[in-house]
Structure 1
Amino acid sequence: MRTTIALSAVMGLAMAVPSVPEAVAGPICGRSSVRVLIPAPVPVVSWAENIGYDRDGDLWVSRTLQNVIDRYDAHGRHVGAVRVHAPGSVRLGPDGRMYATSGDNPINMVPGLPLTGRIVSFDPAERKPAVTTIARGLGMPNGLAITADGTMYVGDSNLGVVKVRKNGTIDRAWTARAPKNLAPNRVVNGTGMNGVVVSGDTAYVAMTSSLSSRILRIPLSAPERVGVAADLTAPLPGSVDDLALVGDRAIAAATATGQVIVVDLRTGSRCTVNAGRPLTSVAVAPDGRSLVVASEDGSVAVVR
């Protein structure tokens, strides 16, 4: 979650977000449309930080300010919820359980405070899912990606990119070699490690505060060899939040300025859809033909 919650959320409610110039965000995606699926229950207070689908196609929405992850069916009807402290990303694991980061609160960026961030898990098949802590010792965990063997990669806005083994222990040797937060350099041109996706043997990580809305490319076998996957808004700065894989060669990024930017990782070509409100996260819908985006005002929309 960004620290500019109140200002950006109020701006999103007050006006439509202006279009990003084509030279910055790429051409407008052809034949695109945006439709609200879930209206904001309580604008701003119901801030929708992240979204993820379970195996049954139900959508889970992290409402960070309300310490809850809400469940919605395919028609956008509220059908359940679990209590999680300051939830961030919510993801389906290879075992069919849902996993979420907990502690996505700017207070966890304060130096010297205990590291209280966690990864939690629950079974979406249960009528009243019980939440279990999987990992501890994180800072301000937000983004989360889970590989087929259960390994978890976290975008932690305090610690940087963190690898967590299936048993919940932090791989500190790997993490020490990965990009750190608040340690910018020529490649890591920003702070606020956030969205994470994994494709094959590579992790892609977004930084909320980047001079060019940069997506980092991190080889899983050699995290110190971090490179640049894409600069989504160069030459201007931007504010990229969560990411989603689109097929095996493209990434969709949600931005706080209200755009969904889709970039082809092989060619670098981009296109953008203006959603009209500050966005926090993006996911591929079960139909595989549309994207679903969550916003700072608490609503969730379908982008085709």
Structure 2
Amino acid sequence: MTSASLGSGAVAGAAPLSLCGQARQEVAIKSSVPLLDWSENFGIDAKGDLWVSRVMRGEVQRYDRDGRLTATVAVPSPGAVRLGPDGLLYVVTGNSPLAGSGGIVRFDPTAARPNPVAFATGFPQPNGAAFDADGNLYVTTGNGLHRLRPDGSEDMDWWTAVSIEGPNGVAVSGDSVYVTANFVGADGPVGRVLRLSRSNPGATTTIADLTSFGTLPDFVDDLVVRDGALYVTTLAGHLVRVNPNTGTACTVVATQPLTAVVADPSDPSALLAGSEEGTVLRIRPIG
């Protein structure tokens, strides 16, 4: 189900999610050990290789376009992996309630033995991350959404203006910062998709509230912007396409619990979706 508010922050009544149309899915990377291989998030380097965060294993694994494991880098409780404008990979670390303080490390993905170096520290349970066109890095954490400048310092004016409870995934397109949030209380339900403005972060718009199995709230995880639409992963195992202008949504596929989603660099018609089981799926929306 979905509903939308047109800038007011008040969400209208929900209606059942329709199917977007047919979609094909296949296994891109198999899980060696279910759950232990939990694919929390992933990113793509300049070469087109996929780096998968194995949060339970405490490492980020590199796979080539044929799905072969080619490198492993130790990162404690890794979350989002994002390619920076400098060509380095930035990885969230400490993405666990047991990890204590976390942060972001970065490394050269082309190095024979990549060496993670701290970029920023002191964040409680960081999770999602995204760069904007100016090289600022947005990071979702246990206490909200942060914006880091290219030198690693925090933009405190941004932090003062933003107020989001339970942020999870984040994606940036133009002036828009899209965030998935899960918070049960007066400030919002589980399964909310929000939009902020880079230039006016205090203006937050609710795009949609996603539900599953009738009217039950669904836990939303990661999201990506592709061809003007938002694709959102959920705990119920749905990949949902959301129109950011109208808030209308439809289900692309219903499968196992999904964690993260990125555009497949080797196939312009496909998305890659991670799962709690550890498998990475290649999904081709049709229609």
**Structural mapping, 1:1-304, within 5 Å:** 23-24=15-16, 26-107=17-98, 116-156=101-141, 158-181=142-165, 192-209=166-183, 211=189, 213-233=191-211, 236-247=216-227, 249-286=228-265, 287-304=267-284
User: What amino acid does structure 2 have at the position aligned with 1:204?
Assistant: Y
The alpha carbon displacement at 1:275 in A equals 4.3
133-142 or 268-277: bigger deviation: 268-277
State TM-score, norm by structure 2: 0.87
Structure 2: any 5+ residue segments left out of the alignment? 1-13
AA aligned to 1:178 is V
Gap change, CA 1:85 and 1:212, over 3 Å in 2: closer
Q: How many Å separate the matches in 1 of 2:171 and 2:164?
A: 17
Cα separation, 2, equivalents of 1:291 and 1:180: 27
User: What is the deviation of 1:274?
Assistant: 2.9
**Residues 103 and 121 in structure 2, CA contact (< 8 A), matched pair in contact too:** yes
Residues 193 and 205 of structure 1 are in contact (CA less than 8 Å); yes or no, is this contact kept in structure 2?
yes
Contact 1:209 1:238 in 2 (8 A): no
Secondary structure of 1:49's partner?
Answer: strand
CA distance in 2, matches of 1:67, 1:260: 26
The worse-fitting range, judged by mean Cα deviation, of 37-46 and 205-214 is 205-214
Counterpart Cα distance in 2 of 1:136 and 1:276: 35
Distance 2:119 2:190 in 1: 34
Residues 153-207 of structure 1 deviation map (CA, whole Å, 9 limit, x = unaligned): 1111x110111111111222211221243xxxxxxxxxx3110001111111101
Distance apart, 1:148 and its partner CA: 2.4
Q: Is the 8 A contact 2:55 2:77 kept in 1?
A: yes
What whole-Å deviation, never above 9, does each CA across 1:66-112 have from its counterpart, x for those lacking one?
Answer: 1100000111111111111110000111222111111100135xxxx
Give the CA RMSD over aligned residues: 1.8
Question: Residue 38 of structure 1: CA displacement?
Answer: 0.9
Count matched residues.
264
- For 2:54 and 2:105, how far apart are their aligned partners in 1? 15
In the superposition, the TM-score normalised over structure 1's length comes to: 0.82
SS of 1:126's partner is coil
CA distance in 2, matches of 1:252, 1:217: 14
1:219-256, CA deviations, whole angstroms, 9 ceiling, x for partnerless residues? 11222211112223385411000111112x21100101
**Relative to total residues, which structure has the larger helix share, 1 or 2?**
1
Tell me if structure 1 keeps the 8 A contact 2:210–2:217.
no
Structure 1 residue 209: Cα displacement: 4.2
Structure 1 equivalent of residue 10 of structure 2: none
Distance 1:138 1:283, change over 3 A: same
Provide the C-alpha distance between the structure 2 equivalents of 1:70 and 1:53, rounded to a whole number of angstroms. Answer: 11
1:107 match: secondary structure: coil
- Partner of 1:106, secondary structure, is coil
Q: What code does the residue aligned with 1:241 have? A: D
Q: Is the 8 A contact 2:207 2:246 kept in 1?
A: no
Contact 1:292 1:301 in 2 (8 A): yes
